[in-house]
Chain A
Amino acid sequence: MSEFEHLIACPRCDALYRAARPKTGERAVCHRCHSVLIAPRVGASVRMVALSISVSILLIGALFLPFLHIERSGLGNSSSVFDVALIFAHGIGLPLVLAVASLIIVIPLLRALLVIYAVGPVVLNRNVRPHAARAFRWSETLRPWAMAEIFVLGCAIALVKIVDLATVDFGPALWMFSALVLINVFQDSFLCKWTVWSSLEQTT
């Protein structure tokens, strides 16, 4: 397994480097295409797992708590993501519900669980679980398909659109989604893929 272990090829442009761990807090950037290749941080793995756990809790809460509340002429309606899914889960609405639910709930949750599965044992100094590297690769492949932050901006726009039609209030789930977005930004700034990959490799 140790053959070529000291080398790293930029996934974007295929430039080949001899990898050496930079000082903590510094970043090693590809000379050609400027992709960040290595960026170790103190306690990054612990933070990754902790944030993934918070993401899963927030997502499950956001699924069942109301995210917006609307009122007009005495008629009120507050819906959670789950209610919405039930309303439209028939006819042409079904594929749309499946797509939206996957993008904002299922995929983000799956990503968080994959990270906990793969990186969790590393944090606890246990042996790496079978297929941990595969799990981490899937979580990275799913990254562009987790669209919680886009959904939050969508809520803001929807609000402006229907504010003429009725009175609208925020529900707790919307705040949860907003927290989720902040956590994601924070988590990405701590992610050093190279460190994770090497830690998954060493213990196999």
Chain B
Amino acid sequence: MDGLVISGTDNITLTAREAGLVGCTHCARVWSIDTAVCGRCGATLTSRDPKSLSRVWAWWIAGVLAYIPANLYPILRTKTLFSEEESTIIGGAIDLFTNGDRGVAAIILFASVLIPVGKFIAVAFLALGAKRASNLPGHHRHVLFEIVEYIGRWSMIDVFVVAITSALVQLGSVASIQPGPAALAFALSVIFTMLAAQSFDSRMIWDRIEEEKVSE
């Protein structure tokens, strides 16, 4: 691997903190440990953010709270000539499934139920694992973090689908679709969980990996 010369011995990587330095998490520039603001990009520097976990939990709780009304209230109100119906996230997916659009129903269920719930569990697991011993080896925790960070934004797809369908289906009395309160609650839940994952300081995962190595 060209371009990087590892600092430290062959097995143990030297971290910026161990070298008495602090690395900028935005632009990777290195400063002496008592520097407060990155001189290159202006980001606030912290070697390890002690408040990071409280922020993660705060956003996590907000995300879970918003997810409850997102499932209880209707996400779509459909009016046609003869009928008016309201559907929730899960109810709508079940309707789609029975109407034969199984692929679409699967995508909706995956993006609006499986990913959000999986994310709540994964973020909670990572936050707990940052302090305590955990069964999952550190490298797997790192992979889990990458997945959570990458996949979280895709949950927003259901909000877009609701916005697009309701924008299009405005055909006067023949058919009209309106977004329900759950659409907003769901959007907020996705935003809060993204913020929870972003608040997590991934360097803590690696600190624990090194501790595990030493204790072995």
Contact = CB atoms under 8 A, between A and B. Distances in A.
Interface in B1-31: 1-8, 13-19, 21-31
A88 B176 CA distance: 13
Nearest to A196: B27
The 9 A-B residue pairs with the shortest CB-CB distance in the complex, in nearest-first order: A9-B23, A154-B160, A22-B3, A28-B3, A84-B167, A158-B164, A22-B2, A13-B206, A9-B16
> Which of A3, A4, A136, A200: most chain B CB closer than 10 A?
A4
B211 to A, nearest CB: 14
B170 to A, nearest CB: 6
A190 interface: no
Nearest to A29: B1
A150 B156 contact: yes
Interface of B: 1-8, 13-19, 21-32, 39-43, 96, 99, 101, 103-104, 107-108, 142, 149, 152-154, 156-157, 159-161, 163-172, 174-175, 179, 181, 183-184, 187, 191, 194, 198, 202-203, 205-206
Given A16-B21, A96-B179, A194 B28 contact: yes
B28 A32 contact: no
A17 interface: yes
Given A79-B168, A83-B167, A8 B28 contact: yes
A28 B2 contact: yes
Nearest to A153: B157
Contact of A16 (B30, B149, B187): B30
B164 A154 contact: yes
Interface stretch (A43-51, A67-75, A109-117, A180-188): A67-75
Nearest to B152: A144
Interface in A124-167: 131, 133-134, 136-137, 140-141, 144-145, 147, 150-151, 153-155, 157-158, 160-162, 164-166
A157 B169 contact: no
Given A137-B41, A150-B160, A16 B7 contact: yes
